[in-house]
Amino acid sequence: MRLASRGYSISLPAWVEAEVREVPDVLPTREERMALVHRLADRNWREGHGGPFAALVAETGTGRVVSVGVNVVLASGVSSAHAEVVALGTAQQAVGTWDLGAPAMPAHELVVNWRPCVQCYGATLWSGVRALVVAGDGPELEELTTFDEGPMREDWAEQLRARGVDVVQDVLREEALDTFRAYRVAVDASGATVYNARRG
């Protein structure tokens, strides 16, 4: 057997660098961090690189942003390249370890514009972050965007907390819904790709 490929790579779109250039390296409040996530999420679907989702990894204490991620499933051709996985992988290779909760490292958090899908929920669990900060959870995301988030357990937040990952909810929730609504309008108007699930 000769391997056709020996791995894969995930790159942020070039526009991300431009979008964050004027943003300070340190965002002291969670609202500031989430506001950046919302900006990236909204631009991402408009650029056609993937769904209306973005994330970032920050040091909880200082607010220093370690990485940002957007959903690049369409741009990368890799179905796991959701915003959370991209932000976490980028942060981990930047700091040089798979464990963002390693001893002697500042506490890290993942900031996302909705409760993660089942894949990214697991990715959060294994990443070492000490907190998951979401704009919201509930059926609105699936209703507005028609993305399937997968079979989640009712006790998803308790299961995170039981593993030492704090869950912070409802940070700029309405602004998240604004992004999803704008995306839905565009999907209805143009038939833009809603990709993830096989529909049976």
* Closest CB to its own copies among residues 9, 190: 9
Instruction: Tell me the closest approach of the beta carbon of residue 192 to its own copies, in angstroms.
Output: 15
Cβ pair 72, 89 in contact under 8 A: no
Instruction: Tell me the closest approach of the beta carbon of residue 114 to its own copies, in angstroms.
Output: 15
Angle at which helices 118-125 and 83-95 cross, to 10°: 20
| Separation of alpha carbons 179 and 185, rounded Å | 10
Instruction: Tell me the closest approach of the beta carbon of residue 196 to its own copies, in angstroms.
Output: 4
* Closest CB to its own copies among residues 128, 136: 128
* Closest CB to its own copies among residues 128, 173: 128
Instruction: Tell me the closest approach of the beta carbon of residue 187 to its own copies, in angstroms.
Output: 17
* Closest CB to its own copies among residues 132, 173: 132
Angle at 156 between CA 56 and CA 75, to 5 degrees: 40
Separation in Å, CA 147 to CA 7, 16, 50, 187: 27, 23, 12, 12
Angle at 197 between CA 175 and CA 3, to 5 degrees: 120
Instruction: Tell me the closest approach of the beta carbon of residue 177 to its own copies, in angstroms.
Output: 23
* Closest CB to its own copies among residues 154, 174: 154
Strand-pair category, 54-59 with 108-112: antiparallel
- Which two structure tokens, joined as six digits, stand for 25? 């390296």
Q: Which residue type does 147 have?
A: F
Cβ pair 88, 29 in contact under 8 A: no
Instruction: Tell me the closest approach of the beta carbon of residue 107 to its own copies, in angstroms.
Output: 11
The torsion angles phi and psi of 183, rounded to 5 degrees, stand at -65, -45
Cβ pair 69, 79 in contact under 8 A: no
* Closest CB to its own copies among residues 41, 86: 86
